[in-house]
Amino acid sequence: MNTGELLAGIALAGAAAACYDGAVALQAVEARAVGERGAGLGLLGSLIKRPRWLAATGLAIAGWPLQIAALALAPLTVVQPALALGLVVLLFLGTRLLHEPARPRDLAAVGVMAAGLALLAAYAPAAEHVHAGAATLAVVLGALGLIALAPWVARNRLPGAVLVVAAGSAYAASGFTTALLADGLEAGALAAIVGWAVASAVSAGAGQVDEMAALQRVGAARVAAGAFAIQTVVPVVGAPVLAAEHWQHPVPIVAGLALVTGAALALGTARAVTGLVAASHG
């Protein structure tokens, strides 16, 4: 992996993030407009009847091939944190469309995020394109899947914070399986490509429904930031085991991850971001 490939991978991850987070405001409007207050198939059935929700979902889906391309060029340890750039897109749109000025703390968060990504890029491990054994993958992905499906069993009895955790867990599983899909494409293994593509679609779909349920109870920006923190930290921490990424310099990698995650949580509460969602809702 050379510097050009790494930078291209970050750029593709940023483009994917723009698709993912660009859909957040539209999804927030539709999730709050439906009468269904639970999670699972009932909520999904209500949402798929709404054209604007389908358009937002299409925008989010468009980010997936960009994420796969990013993972083909850069390691999971760099690509997952780079998805935080979508929150910067929301901040920019909020300041431009609503004329809501970005506060010094918002700009500082953008700077911290850039510093964290630079640190991760500087000490990025090589993309090995191999993965753990079937038993290890089954345990980790199975655990994330159980958390993601909890709202489907409990229906409307779970608070918003738990729904955010469920959505983040589903997206974390999707991050893992998307990386494995990229590895399958690299190896030209048809069975792996089909299997991991299906697993990624199912995980992302479950996460989106969990996120829609969370959007009915929690502010859209907070949902996006909270789910992002989980879907970033879990895959990156698990990358050495599940994606065979060898961290020669773990301290700067952990520091970079902490900087990006903290900045993302701060941007999730920026007035320009929350104002954008509120304006689209009202």
pLDDT digits (tens, 9 = 90+) for 18-56: 888 777 666 666 666 665 555 555 656 666 777 877 888
Buried b (16+ CB within 10 A) or exposed e, 221-241: bbbbbbbbbbbbbbbbebbbe
Residue 281's pLDDT is what?
A: 42
d(CA 92, CA 254): 27
The pLDDT confidence band at residue 155, using thresholds 50, 70 and 90, is: low
In this prediction, residues 2-14 reach a mean pLDDT of 90
Residue 105's pLDDT is what?
A: 93
Single-letter amino acid, residue 115: A
Residue 271's pLDDT is what?
A: 81
Residue 210 domain boundaries: 3-281
User: What pTM was computed for the model?
Assistant: 0.81
Query: How many domains, in total, are found in the chain?
Result: 1
Side-chain-side CA neighbours of residue 280 (13 Å): 26
Question: Residue ranges of the alpha helices (H) in the chain?
Answer: 3-22, 24-33, 41-47, 51-73, 76-82, 85-98, 104-122, 134-154, 160-187, 190-215, 220-242, 250-267, 271-281
Among 15, 24, 4, 107, residue whose Cα is nearest residue 69? 15
Residue 280's pLDDT is what?
A: 45
% of the chain exceeding 90 in pLDDT: 36
d(CA 150, CA 64): 25
Among 93, 86, 138, residue whose Cα is nearest residue 113? 86
